[in-house]
Amino acid sequence: MDSIRFGQATASTTWTLSTGTPFTEPIGVQDTTRDVGPGGFVFQEVVTGDKNGARLPAYHRVDLALHWDVPFGAAGRRSTLGLTLFNVYDRANAWYKEFSIVDNEIIETNIGLMGRALNSFFSVRF
Protein backbone atom coordinates (compact mmCIF):
# COMPACT_ATOMS: atom_id res chain seq x y z
CA MET A 1 0.00 0.00 0.00
CA ASP A 2 1.28 3.43 -0.93
CA SER A 3 -0.15 6.63 0.47
CA ILE A 4 0.44 10.35 0.06
CA ARG A 5 -0.66 12.91 2.63
CA PHE A 6 -1.44 16.47 1.56
CA GLY A 7 -2.94 18.78 4.14
CA GLN A 8 -6.00 17.15 5.73
CA ALA A 9 -6.29 14.57 2.95
CA THR A 10 -4.66 11.22 2.30
CA ALA A 11 -4.65 9.35 -1.01
CA SER A 12 -3.70 5.68 -1.11
CA THR A 13 -3.50 2.75 -3.49
CA THR A 14 -3.41 -0.97 -2.83
CA TRP A 15 -2.56 -3.70 -5.30
CA THR A 16 -3.61 -7.23 -4.33
CA LEU A 17 -2.18 -10.28 -6.10
CA SER A 18 -2.52 -13.96 -5.21
CA THR A 19 -2.30 -17.32 -6.87
CA GLY A 20 -5.55 -19.04 -7.67
CA THR A 21 -7.24 -21.12 -4.99
CA PRO A 22 -6.82 -24.88 -5.43
CA PHE A 23 -9.89 -27.03 -6.10
CA THR A 24 -10.75 -30.59 -7.04
CA GLU A 25 -11.78 -30.62 -10.68
CA PRO A 26 -14.37 -32.99 -12.15
CA ILE A 27 -12.88 -34.70 -15.21
CA GLY A 28 -15.72 -36.87 -16.43
CA VAL A 29 -19.03 -38.63 -15.89
CA GLN A 30 -19.64 -42.37 -15.80
CA ASP A 31 -22.77 -44.49 -15.49
CA THR A 32 -22.83 -46.59 -12.34
CA THR A 33 -25.25 -49.44 -11.62
CA ARG A 34 -26.48 -50.19 -8.11
CA ASP A 35 -28.25 -53.44 -7.34
CA VAL A 36 -31.37 -52.29 -5.55
CA GLY A 37 -33.88 -54.83 -6.71
CA PRO A 38 -34.97 -56.15 -10.10
CA GLY A 39 -33.04 -54.48 -12.90
CA GLY A 40 -30.91 -52.37 -10.59
CA PHE A 41 -30.59 -48.62 -10.73
CA VAL A 42 -28.29 -46.67 -13.08
CA PHE A 43 -27.12 -43.18 -12.19
CA GLN A 44 -24.42 -40.77 -13.31
CA GLU A 45 -21.36 -40.46 -11.11
CA VAL A 46 -18.85 -37.63 -11.37
CA VAL A 47 -15.21 -38.68 -11.69
CA THR A 48 -12.77 -36.21 -10.16
CA GLY A 49 -9.10 -35.49 -10.71
CA ASP A 50 -6.49 -35.26 -7.98
CA LYS A 51 -7.62 -33.62 -4.76
CA ASN A 52 -6.88 -29.87 -5.09
CA GLY A 53 -5.07 -30.68 -8.35
CA ALA A 54 -6.44 -27.66 -10.25
CA ARG A 55 -6.33 -23.94 -9.50
CA LEU A 56 -8.58 -20.99 -10.13
CA PRO A 57 -7.00 -18.21 -12.22
CA ALA A 58 -4.70 -15.76 -10.40
CA TYR A 59 -6.48 -13.05 -8.40
CA HIS A 60 -5.52 -9.39 -8.65
CA ARG A 61 -7.05 -5.95 -8.29
CA VAL A 62 -6.16 -2.31 -7.56
CA ASP A 63 -8.03 -0.17 -5.02
CA LEU A 64 -7.83 3.63 -4.68
CA ALA A 65 -8.86 5.60 -1.59
CA LEU A 66 -9.20 9.25 -0.55
CA HIS A 67 -9.69 10.23 3.11
CA TRP A 68 -10.20 13.70 4.56
CA ASP A 69 -9.79 14.51 8.26
CA VAL A 70 -12.46 17.06 9.18
CA PRO A 71 -13.50 18.63 12.51
CA PHE A 72 -16.93 17.60 13.73
CA GLY A 73 -19.10 19.25 16.35
CA ALA A 74 -17.96 20.63 19.68
CA ALA A 75 -15.00 19.63 21.83
CA GLY A 76 -12.70 19.19 18.83
CA ARG A 77 -14.01 15.77 17.84
CA ARG A 78 -12.21 14.26 14.90
CA SER A 79 -13.93 12.70 11.94
CA THR A 80 -12.96 11.23 8.60
CA LEU A 81 -14.79 11.42 5.31
CA GLY A 82 -13.69 8.94 2.68
CA LEU A 83 -14.17 7.44 -0.76
CA THR A 84 -12.80 4.12 -1.98
CA LEU A 85 -12.83 2.77 -5.52
CA PHE A 86 -12.58 -1.01 -5.24
CA ASN A 87 -11.24 -3.05 -8.18
CA VAL A 88 -10.37 0.00 -10.32
CA TYR A 89 -9.83 -1.89 -13.60
CA ASP A 90 -12.95 -4.05 -13.05
CA ARG A 91 -11.11 -7.38 -13.17
CA ALA A 92 -13.43 -10.40 -13.32
CA ASN A 93 -11.82 -12.43 -10.51
CA ALA A 94 -13.20 -15.95 -10.01
CA TRP A 95 -14.53 -16.73 -6.53
CA TYR A 96 -15.32 -20.37 -7.25
CA LYS A 97 -16.53 -22.65 -10.04
CA GLU A 98 -19.88 -24.39 -10.41
CA PHE A 99 -20.26 -27.54 -12.46
CA SER A 100 -23.36 -29.08 -14.00
CA ILE A 101 -23.91 -32.15 -16.15
CA VAL A 102 -25.75 -31.75 -19.45
CA ASP A 103 -25.96 -34.72 -21.85
CA ASN A 104 -23.05 -36.51 -20.13
CA GLU A 105 -20.88 -33.41 -20.52
CA ILE A 106 -19.54 -31.29 -17.65
CA ILE A 107 -20.38 -27.60 -18.02
CA GLU A 108 -18.13 -25.24 -16.02
CA THR A 109 -19.21 -21.78 -14.83
CA ASN A 110 -17.00 -19.23 -13.07
CA ILE A 111 -18.73 -17.42 -10.22
CA GLY A 112 -17.11 -14.01 -9.89
CA LEU A 113 -16.26 -11.72 -7.02
CA MET A 114 -17.44 -8.14 -6.86
CA GLY A 115 -16.45 -5.95 -9.79
CA ARG A 116 -15.71 -2.25 -9.63
CA ALA A 117 -17.49 -0.53 -6.74
CA LEU A 118 -17.47 2.94 -5.23
CA ASN A 119 -17.80 3.12 -1.44
CA SER A 120 -18.08 6.13 0.82
CA PHE A 121 -17.93 6.52 4.59
CA PHE A 122 -18.04 9.04 7.40
CA SER A 123 -16.63 8.18 10.83
CA VAL A 124 -16.52 10.13 14.08
CA ARG A 125 -14.06 9.44 16.91
CA PHE A 126 -15.11 10.21 20.48
* Average confidence (pLDDT) over 94-111: 91
* Average confidence (pLDDT) over 4-13: 94
Q: 32 near 46, Cβ under 8 Å? A: no
How far apart (Å, rounded) are the C-alpha atoms in residues 4 and 94? 31
**Per 3-state DSSP, what percentage of the chain is helix, strand, and coil (rounded to 5)?**
0, 70, 30
What's at 97, amino acid-wise?
A: K
Q: 111 near 96, Cβ under 8 Å? A: yes
pLDDT greater at residue 14 or residue 75: 14
pLDDT in tens, 44-84: 888 999 999 999 999 999 999 999 998 887 777 789 999 99
pLDDT at 37: 67
pLDDT at 73: 77
pLDDT in tens, 15-34: 999 999 999 999 998 888 77
Q: What is the pTM of this model?
A: 0.74
